[in-house]
Amino acid sequence: MNRIAHMPSHDVLIIGAGLAGQRAALAAANAGASVAIISKVHPVRSHSVAAAGGINAALNPEDSWESHAFDTVKGSDYLGDQDAIEIMCREAPDELLYLEHIGVTFHRSPDGHLGTRAFGGASAARTYYVADITGQAILHVLYEQLMKHHEQLDRYEEWFTTDLLQDEDGRCTGAICRNLRDGRLEVFNAKAVILASGGAGQAFKPTTNGLIVTGDGIAQAYRIGATLMDMEMVQYHPTTLAGNGFLITEGARGEGAWLLNAQGERFMERYAPNKMELASRDVVSRAEQTEINEGRGFPDGTVFLDVTKVPRKRTLEALREIVNIGRDFAGVDITREPIKIRPGMHYIMGGVKTDSDGLTTIPGLYAAGEVACVSVHGGNRLGANSLLDTLIFGRRSGEHAAAQAKAMPMPTTPAATVADVQASIDAIINREPGGRRVAAIKDELGTTMNQYCAVFRDAEGLATGYEIVRRLKQEAPKASIDDHGTVFNQDVIGAIELGYMLDVAETILVAAMERKESRGAQYRTDFPARNDDEWLKHIDISANGADEPKVDYSPVTITRWEPQERTY
């Protein structure tokens, strides 16, 4: 039986220590708040570490934030909220310079200026980068900065948040967390809680996302009544390795790589004659999948990415990680021969609905980063806009939460809630042997989502996917685990995460069935056109206390860019 310890109390509790969480923590600490930051892995192992290609900002004098904003709006297929997009793009240059000043070693050209590379859907080369390890470079520098604030900032590394807490008025007052080292449960009270717990890629198989990206925050917020938005919008990245789903960064096409079908044709000429390989990701992924479906790909369902078009010296300097990935995981020297790739699940545009200060529909609860939906990405995220999103809205959430906390008393938590969580964990540990394995259910979930809710969708497939997910939701609570101990019991965590992924998958399918048009990443073969008259609106999903998600709508904010036909 686990022990329930004392209750740490902080002005601001941040769940997640990727780029969004760390940036929020710095902002809140700088504003004078006491802060706790929690992560289920060591912070620099957060999935932001995998970000490769770079971060967007209209910093060059000949570029403008308006151009960046328009590209983002167009990339979103007009589903992004333009007030939030304006904020993100306007604040991007200062954020980039802040990162530079605190020590991020962005690439510089021989004349000493910050260097840029082109990215998809952008009308100017405005992606700043550190070779192809940009996320790692930023994450480590932010982590150094957190150390400076050790007197007011407590780090809880390898702690797993199981549930968010609410008082009788519905205000979020903290979270319950399990110390992975010894299985101890602890209640964290806070005046404000910021969810920064990342995306949900593991609900799909394959995915470019690591094993820890299991939709925890999205499901936790949904379970206490928060509204989710744009859940149907799941991004398939055009260049992932078949089988394992590893990402070949868009930076490769930014540096000049071509896409070729099995007949050697540069097929993007047919789909995006102006932008070619650097059209938006949804457009390029659909083009590839069309080539594959119509028999012009390779028999293993792939096409070629030809990085040999990039000078070898440049590839070895600016794309060295994907040189390693090609060699180690596909046996291909990308500097000398093309590599087989295909569209693969990469990013979830939807998430916990927030305003531009990170506030969710639950008082006291904020969300920032991939867990959130502001919505700056709408139907399709532009490459290199996610790191920017994490930092801008992480910072804004941290600042806002710190300011709110100043005027509030510290809440307390009813003991019964903790006992409930303890009982549910004990129930997992004590499940009868037999039933399906957690891993088997997860595997079926991932392959189901990848089959029925991928680049092309239709009503029949989505309904089939939904039925399967509903069945898996029945099976999951019976899946037994082997490890009954308390020390780093990843079996228990895996069982809890499976529940989160199933909730997230269910909301994605419900939203995808609901949107009867094609927009951004949602391409319905049964409704192939975009239909602004009926569907220029967000789909909001919430738990209705009943068994199935409830669907609502909310308007898209349009400030200055009326919807147009979208061509590249």
23 closest CA partner among 399, 557, 336, 306: 399
Output 256 or 563, the one with its CB closest to ligand FAD: 256
164 closest CA partner among 353, 278, 15, 349: 15
Phi, psi of 171 (to 5 degrees): -75, 140
Work out how close the CB of 110 gets to ligand FAD at its nearest, in angstroms, rounded to a whole number: 23
Give the tokens for residue 14: 């941040």
Q: Is 39 in the site for ligand FAD (CB under 6 A)?
A: yes
Work out how close the CB of 466 gets to ligand FAD at its nearest, in angstroms, rounded to a whole number: 25
Over the Cα atoms of the chain, what is R_g? 22
Q: Residue 194 in contact with residue 13, Cβ under 8 Å?
A: yes
Q: Is 248 in the site for ligand FAD (CB under 6 A)?
A: no
What 3-state class would DSSP assign to 346? strand
* Member of 48, 261, 289, 486 binding ligand FAD (CB under 6 A): 48
Number of residues lying near ligand FAD (CB under 6 A):
43
- In sequence order, what E strands does 16-152 have? 35-39, 55-56, 116-117, 127-128
DSSP bridge pairs for 161: 177
Q: Is 241 in the site for ligand FAD (CB under 6 A)?
A: no
Q: Which is catalytic among the residues 23, 45, 178, 281?
A: 281
Binding to ligand FAD (CB under 6 A) within 311-370 occurs at 347, 369-370
Q: How far apart are CA 147 and CA 102, in angstroms?
A: 13
Alpha helices in 363-458 (DSSP H): 386-406, 415-429, 438-452
* Member of 24, 25, 35, 50 binding ligand FAD (CB under 6 A): 50
Work out how close the CB of 89 gets to ligand FAD at its nearest, in angstroms, rounded to a whole number: 13
Work out how close the CB of 244 gets to ligand FAD at its nearest, in angstroms, rounded to a whole number: 12
* Beta-carbon contacts of residue 34 (< 8 Å; ≥ 6 apart): 10, 11, 12, 152, 153
Strand (E) or helix (H) holding 466: helix 459-475
DSSP bridge pairs for 178: 160, 185
Strand (E) or helix (H) holding 467: helix 459-475
Output 46 or 302, the one with its CB closest to ligand FAD: 46
Work out how close the CB of 21 gets to ligand FAD at its nearest, in angstroms, rounded to a whole number: 6
Cα 254 to the center of its chain, rounded Å? 22
Give the tokens for residue 41: 């892995």
Q: Check if 45 is active-site.
A: no
Work out how close the CB of 345 gets to ligand FAD at its nearest, in angstroms, rounded to a whole number: 10
* Beta-carbon contacts of residue 290 (< 8 Å; ≥ 6 apart): 271
* Member of 35, 38, 138, 146 binding ligand FAD (CB under 6 A): 38
Residues in the chain: 568
Q: Is 278 in the site for ligand FAD (CB under 6 A)?
A: no
Q: Residue 34 in contact with residue 11, Cβ under 8 Å?
A: yes
* Member of 72, 161, 261, 302 binding ligand FAD (CB under 6 A): 161
Site track 184-223 with ligand FAD (rule: CB under 6 A), x = hit: ------------xxx---------xx--xx--x-------
Site track 58-97 with ligand FAD (rule: CB under 6 A), x = hit: ----------------------------------------
Output 199 or 461, the one with its CB closest to ligand FAD: 199
* Member of 247, 305, 325, 502 binding ligand FAD (CB under 6 A): 247
Q: How far apart are CA 154 and CA 14, in angstroms?
A: 10
Site track 506-525 with ligand FAD (rule: CB under 6 A), x = hit: --------------------
- Residue facing ligand FAD at closest CB distance: 18
Listed ranges 46-54, 61-69, 90-98, 529-537: which one lies at the site for ligand FAD (CB under 6 A): 46-54
Output 88 or 196, the one with its CB closest to ligand FAD: 196
Torsion of CA 108, 114, 116, 122, to 10 degrees: 170
DSSP bridge pairs for 309: none
Work out how close the CB of 431 gets to ligand FAD at its nearest, in angstroms, rounded to a whole number: 20
Catalytic residues: 281
Q: Which chain residues interact with ligand FAD by CB under 6 A? A: 15-21, 38-41, 43, 46-48, 50-55, 134-135, 160-161, 196-198, 208-209, 212-213, 216, 247, 347, 369-371, 384-387, 390
